[in-house]
A = this chain, B = another copy of it.
Amino acid sequence: MTYSEENYLKIIYHLSLNQAKGITTNAIASQMESKPSSVTDMVQKLADKGLVVYKKYQGVSLTDEGRFTALMIVRKHRLWEVFLLEKLDFSWDEVHDVAEQLEHIKSDKLINKLEEFLDFPTEDPHGDPIPDRNGKIAKVDKKLLSEIAAGKKVICVGVKDSSSAFLQYLDKQQIALGSTIEVMSKEDFDMSLTLKLGDKQVTVSNKIAANLFVKTI
């Protein structure tokens, strides 16, 4: 299992959480910051190895083996994040790049001992669940932003609509995965929401809110 193959599996896993159907090569390419044609190549290799199911023009999905492999990478990533934050005093924004490297270290003993050293944490510092050594992972209850009551604080955990128009809109509003959003008020007339994003205040339509997954803090 190469570094690159692991990254593909991880990205396919994450995309699968928000979109149960076949994951398109385009979606993978934009996450990988590479090109769809490169993805087609790799996805065929992963299919040959039995890690994904792939049919031309139909997108990709993980096999049980592929999902398990992906979960082990997620497990490593999140445990290292806990380590960096709790033991080495990293701040949140510094953690990701390093965990991204550490997740590829191959040693079952290492990761199991690390888990023990950290006292078997069940969530990473974002509140995302950490898979156990058998690949079991707690379900996160994510909701649509449109279902959140005024006054609540939530974290953005995904999108329902992954069109580039929508994603570009989110970029423009500086809403990203992990962003903290406070729902200031809800307009009864059109169900639009006024949000607090950092120190900015933004109003978004119900259509926007109905396509953004969040979890309560």
A interface residues with partner B (beta carbon < 8 Å): 84, 87-90, 94, 97-98, 101-102, 105-107, 109-110, 113-114, 117
Contact = CB atoms under 8 A, between A and B. Distances in A.
B101 A117 contact: no
Contacts of A88: 110, 113-114, 117
B109 A90 contact: yes
Contact of A90 (B90, B102, B113): B113
A110 B87 contact: no
A97 to B, nearest CB: 7
9 contacts: A84-B110, A87-B117, A89-B113, A90-B109, A90-B113, A94-B109, A98-B107, A101-B106, A102-B105
A195 to B, nearest CB: 32
A216 to B, nearest CB: 32
A184 B97 CA distance: 53
A84 B102 CA distance: 14
A84 B114 CA distance: 9
Nearest to A88: B113
Contacts of A94: 109
Nearest to A3: B3
B113 A105 contact: no
Contact of A97 (B97, B101, B107, B113): B107
Contacts of A98: 105, 107, 109-110
A79 to B, nearest CB: 12
A115 to B, nearest CB: 10
Given A90-B109, A98-B109, A102-B105, 4 more contacts: A88-B114, A94-B109, A97-B107, A101-B105
